[in-house]
Amino acid sequence: MTTKSADEYLAALADALAISETRYDQACRSYASLGAWLHRPESTVLHFDPQIYVQGSFRLGTAIRPLNDEEEYDVDSVCELRLLGTGDLSQKALKKLVGDEIKAYRVSQNMVKPVTEGKRCWVLSYSDGAQFHMDIVPAVPNNSRQKLLLEAYGLDTRWSETAVVITDVRSPTYDYVSDDWQRSNPKGYAKWFQLRMGQIFERKRRAIAESVRASVEDIPEYRVRTPLQSAIMILKRHRDGMFVDRYDERPISVIITTLAAHAYNSEEKISDALYAILANMDRFIEHDGQNCIIRNPSDPLENFADKWPTHPERQAAFFEWLAQARHDFGQLAQQVERRRLVESVAPRMGAIAEKAAARMDPPSGSMLRPAASAAIIGTGAANAPAFPNTRREPTSPKGFA
């Protein structure tokens, strides 16, 4: 149970964290422009059927504003050459092929900052005013091999059609032709995530279309935000604020996003979604007797927690963060006064806590939401959301469907 003020404040937090439509438009135009460049007649990759598409938080609709003006938005994207395969060239050769085109694009656009190379990607940096850079990961299709691999283990193959493999300079086979590449499936993950949002996403999209008298297809997906997406955004900022000085230990976004999507049960309100996720997300961590397993829904053989055994501090940090989030948002749920709302989360949420309070409507009427008003007298601890008071023991793997 939460106070009406807490409900409204959590909605305001999500609004304050949301990236503006202008930023989304800017990112969309940027990778569309790069895609057009790769399809020009002179392109060295044109005959390989290149496709540029966004992945990560921008694709999922869970991107949040940077902590400060010095930080940039990280737009993750994939450059898939759909008529090539692992038997055609090495990872190194693919990386260079795509990199040469990206460098030529940067020159054609008179971009000042040089293209830099990451372990898996090329980094295209835009002007300071744009406040974002694009990480472009070279990839080739891997759908047939991925389906066979999952079938061999008796695992779900429904997302395998969009599977790819990507370059990684740390791979032992990076320099020569081999089938041993790093697997990935951002399109499959995005489809799974949208499925977890259920009918709420389409219902909200339809409502926006009706409000502006447009067709549903004319409404970009980034204009729709569900309670699941909002809850993830809030949890990611709480994580960011908690691990400012311990960046390498912080729970990675894909772990938070995956566990949150599993725990989401079509709640209609941001507050209901957030508290359901906090109460249940660790139930979806499996255990094989030695290590924790957080499966990639689009590739059940991939474990998002695979670094935990060699970096036990990261596993400890996840449970530390979850306990802190339960405490902070449990305190928030009881508050009525705006000052108390802000104080509940400001140590972890930072300046956005005050900005969210400023977005709220002036107080009026009862401060408790109607459904709870008959059952709640006051705002004591007994009314706070109930979270497990001990660390939950992860379950044993039970397959993945």
Cα end-to-end span (Å), the chain: 32
Q: Over the stretch 7-57, which tens digit does the pLDDT of each residue have?
A: 999 999 999 999 888 888 888 888 899 999 999 999 999 999 999 999 999
Exposed, middle or buried, 81 (CB in 10 Å: 0-12/13-18/19+)?
Answer: buried
Exposed, middle or buried, 370 (CB in 10 Å: 0-12/13-18/19+)?
Answer: exposed
Q: What are phi and psi of 153, to 5 degrees?
A: -100, 5
The model's pTM is 0.90
pLDDT of residue 383: 58
Coil, strand or helix at 368:
strand
Torsion, Cα 51 55 58 59, to 10 degrees, reads: 80
Closest alpha carbon to 22 in 134, 129, 135, 137: 129
> What is the average per-residue pLDDT within 289-307?
96
pLDDT confidence tier of residue 370, bands split at 50, 70 and 90: very low
What is the domain partition of the chain in residue ranges?
4-17+225-383, 21-185
pLDDT of residue 47: 97
Q: Over the stretch 82-99, which tens digit does the pLDDT of each residue have?
A: 999 999 999 999 999 999
Sign of CA dihedral 67, 70, 73, 78: negative
- Is the CB of residue 168 less than 8 Å from the CB of residue 183? no
Q: Does residue 198 register a pLDDT over 90? A: no
> What is the average per-residue pLDDT within 295-299?
96
Coil, strand or helix at 64:
strand
Q: For 21-185, CATH number?
A: 3.30.460.90
> What is the average per-residue pLDDT within 357-386?
53
Average pLDDT, the chain: 89
Report the alpha-carbon distance of residue 349 to residue 340 in Å, rounded.
Answer: 14
Q: Does residue 335 register a pLDDT over 80? A: yes
Residue 170, CB half-sphere, CA atoms under 13 Å: how many? 5
pLDDT confidence tier of residue 211, bands split at 50, 70 and 90: confident
pLDDT of residue 280: 97
pLDDT confidence tier of residue 392, bands split at 50, 70 and 90: low
Calculate helix-pair angle for 4-17, 312-333, nearest 10 degrees. Answer: 130
> What is the average per-residue pLDDT within 108-129?
90
pLDDT of residue 28: 85
Q: Where are the alpha helices (DSSP H) in 18-63?
A: 21-38, 57-60
> What is the average per-residue pLDDT within 242-255?
95
- Is the CB of residue 232 less than 8 Å from the CB of residue 254? no
Specify the DSSP class assigned to residue 144: H
Q: Which of 102-111, 161-170, 209-218, 359-368 has the lowest mean pLDDT?
A: 359-368
Q: How distant, in Å, are the alpha carbons of 28, 229, 353 from that of 219?
A: 14, 17, 30
Report the alpha-carbon distance of residue 163 to residue 171 in Å, rounded.
Answer: 19
